[in-house]
A and B are shown apart, each in its own frame.
Chain A
Amino acid sequence: MQKMYRKQGRIILHVDCNSFFASCEIARDPSLKEKAVVVAGDPKERKGIVLAANYIAKRRFGIYTTMPLWEAKKKCPSLVVLKPDFSLYRETSSKVFQFLRRISPLLEPASIDEGYLDITECDSLGSPLEIAEYIQQGLLQTLHIPVSIGIAPNKFLAKMASEMKKPLGITVLRKRDVPNILWPLPVKEMHGVGDKTAKKLNTIGIFTIGELAKAEEERLQQLLGINGIRLKERANGIDDRPVDPEAGEKWKSIGNSTTLPYNVTEERILLDVLRELAQSVSERMKRKRVVSSTVQIMIRYSNFQTITRSKTWENPFQEAEEIFQYAAYLLKKHWNGNPVRLLGIAALDVFDKKAAMKQLDLFHYEEEAKREALWKTMEQLRQKFGEDIIRRGANLFQQD
């Protein structure tokens, strides 16, 4: 039996915490268990909205996330309303992931309350279903967090499967189940299809996942760009994205250092070295599509005394020139003039470029605004043909 599974390819679990914020609150205060509980912006604020509701609130009273609080209270006068406690949720989240990592190190946290677990190599622990049951029971008993689990040969199907039974469901979705189970569903039920995409698909006559699976690629590409092709693949149960343990936390820091051929006391030479290091750090950041706001330099003196100094700037950076400027600033500030043996630069706490923001400045925004058209075009091209289609010329050149 186990061997058969292996032959079919990977086994991926999608573990999804049920009503996570509310569950965390109930885990902390079990007396809430039989009550309708919601977490909301500011309980006193009349205009607050529901951020999370437990199943009693959802099922028995029809309360849903984003419902205005006053409406929720009208539906359920005895409603327990709690203020969000994000530090509790973060802490619980990391405990859940710790538990999952013990099953398999191939864990990719997808958000605070869900993650993908690749258990292809875990047959010694039991069948996939047994492993899923073990996880569900384990999390419920130790952390009092209910989860739904989807079991499937890839991430997309696992995600779809975990959505099918809540709370505390375990659903197996094989590729051969796709036509029977997924295709009849409305297209907006599909993971990755939001309201807007669904409306667009509706305009070309696609209303179900099945219709998407059979749609013409060209029309999809015209309508949705590269994303259209991907969605069609998914609708056919195809998704070869690996479970990437680093995807969530990204690469905490990216750095490079070099031992100098002799002990250097000339600032000019040290700056040249920093320029080269900045170049290589920048290239690696670009390859991983991350940015950072903190530069650290390391100076090792000829007597092996080593210092590291860092500074956080307001706006994230990725370009070599910026990294060099920041590193040079740190060197000039902290180098005591003694002979230097080794120099290093690191970008600390790097994060996904997509999460990066730059607060524009009243006195310098014009430079940014001039490039507005260019940014727009780049974004459109990326949407159409995928992330890699366009890079700025300088970057292209560096790769060669």
Chain B
Amino acid sequence: MTMTMQWEQLEQYQPVVVKMLTKSLEKGRVSHAYLFEGQRGTGKKAASLLLAKSLFCLHPLGIKPCNECRNCRRIDSGNHPDVHVIAPDGQSIKKEQIELLQQEFTKTAMEADKKLYIIEHADQMTTSAANSLLKFLEEPRPGTVAILLTEQYHRILETIVSRCQVFSFQPLPPALLANDLIEQQIPPHMAFLAAHVTNNYEEALELSRDSWFAQARKIVLQLYEMLKKNDLQALFFLHDQWVPHFQEKQQIDLGLDLLLYIYKDMLHIQLGQPDYVVYRDKIDDLQQWALACSQRQIVQSMEIILQAKARLNTTNMSVPLLMEQLILDLKEGKAFV
């Protein structure tokens, strides 16, 4: 899903949304406010930019933007003076950001007779920012389109939701995304893993080409093998290999996810669903491992990893300590064999 996509490409992933949006474009009945909700990587931003281009394109083919004229190009580069994109400034979208937007919209458009704004992560607006926006949505100006994007639909003020036309973006099936990656010459084992980590094509493509990610995969699989050996080698491995590789919080979180997928894979094998396996190249090993433990043990191990993830995200616990505890917990319950 590159940014210069067309409606048809998006339609493969979001058939319902695209159908409704293109219909309203064809009929020239564009709402003054949209709310696009759905998981990360489901094409919300791409859809918002497509909508913008369809409205501003100088040489559209029907409703399809040409992706080449100066308006299309400037919407991609963020240089179109009448198309504004707002994203959180640090932790949140501040009131001042919305006020600036409002001031912008008290003036005539710079080039055309219409203006459009996109608010990314609209759920991260502060209360006063949301209230300012609400006032703005209540008095729509002709020729103005607002598109709000969110991954946390339930955290948007009810009063804002009620003033927007809401579109729900469906999560992408990982297999579909993995196939797209394989088309881009990504080895299948990397493609499947990346497609599980993110729902976003670009991000997945970047990940699967990233040597850090490949190394991360290797370390996680090694750690599992270490855990199976019934001694403290895993702890040494942890300090020598794992801790230096996974440093940022996001990286550690990802490392834990990769570990979790191993247990999930075993569970899928036990349940007779090999198609869902993420570590496809390791399917033989996984089958052996799955035979050696009970379903209860696997579920228990998964719970332990999820707890570690929660601790990571809610406390300031030192990472080596957190990981040591995880390893001891996993060994303790003999959750693995």
Contact = CB atoms under 8 A, between A and B. Distances in A.
Interface of A: 332-334, 336
Contacts of B127: 333-334, 336
A32 to B, nearest CB: 49
Nearest to B159: A332
The secondary structure that dominates the B interface is helix
7 contacts: A332-B131, A333-B127, A333-B128, A333-B131, A334-B127, A334-B128, A336-B127
Nearest to A336: B127
A357 B130 CA distance: 34
Contacts of A332: 131
A332 B157 CA distance: 12
Interface in B125-170: 127-128, 131
Contacts of A333: 127-128, 131
Interface residues of B, number: 3
- Name the 7 nearest CB pairs between A and B, nearest first: A333-B131, A336-B127, A334-B127, A333-B128, A333-B127, A332-B131, A334-B128
Contacts of A336: 127
Nearest to A335: B127
Nearest to A332: B131
A141 B153 CA distance: 71
Interface string B107-136: 000000000000000000001100100000
Contacts of A334: 127-128
A270 to B, nearest CB: 16
A333 B130 CA distance: 9
A334 B127 CA distance: 7
A82 to B, nearest CB: 42
A178 B106 CA distance: 70
A336 B128 CA distance: 10
B135 to A, nearest CB: 10
Contacts of B131: 332-333
A334 B128 CA distance: 7
Contacts of B128: 333-334
A334 B95 CA distance: 13
B155 to A, nearest CB: 11
A44 to B, nearest CB: 40
Nearest to A333: B131
A332 B131 CA distance: 9
A334 B126 CA distance: 11
B120 to A, nearest CB: 23
A109 B128 CA distance: 42
A336 B127 CA distance: 8
A333 B133 CA distance: 12
B198 to A, nearest CB: 32
A333 B127 CA distance: 8
A375 B131 CA distance: 39
Interface in B276-297: none
A11 B43 CA distance: 84
A266 to B, nearest CB: 14
A301 to B, nearest CB: 14
A330 to B, nearest CB: 11
A333 B157 CA distance: 12
Nearest to B131: A333
A389 to B, nearest CB: 45
A308 to B, nearest CB: 15
A332 to B, nearest CB: 8
Nearest to A334: B127
B124 to A, nearest CB: 15
A28 B250 CA distance: 62
A207 B296 CA distance: 109
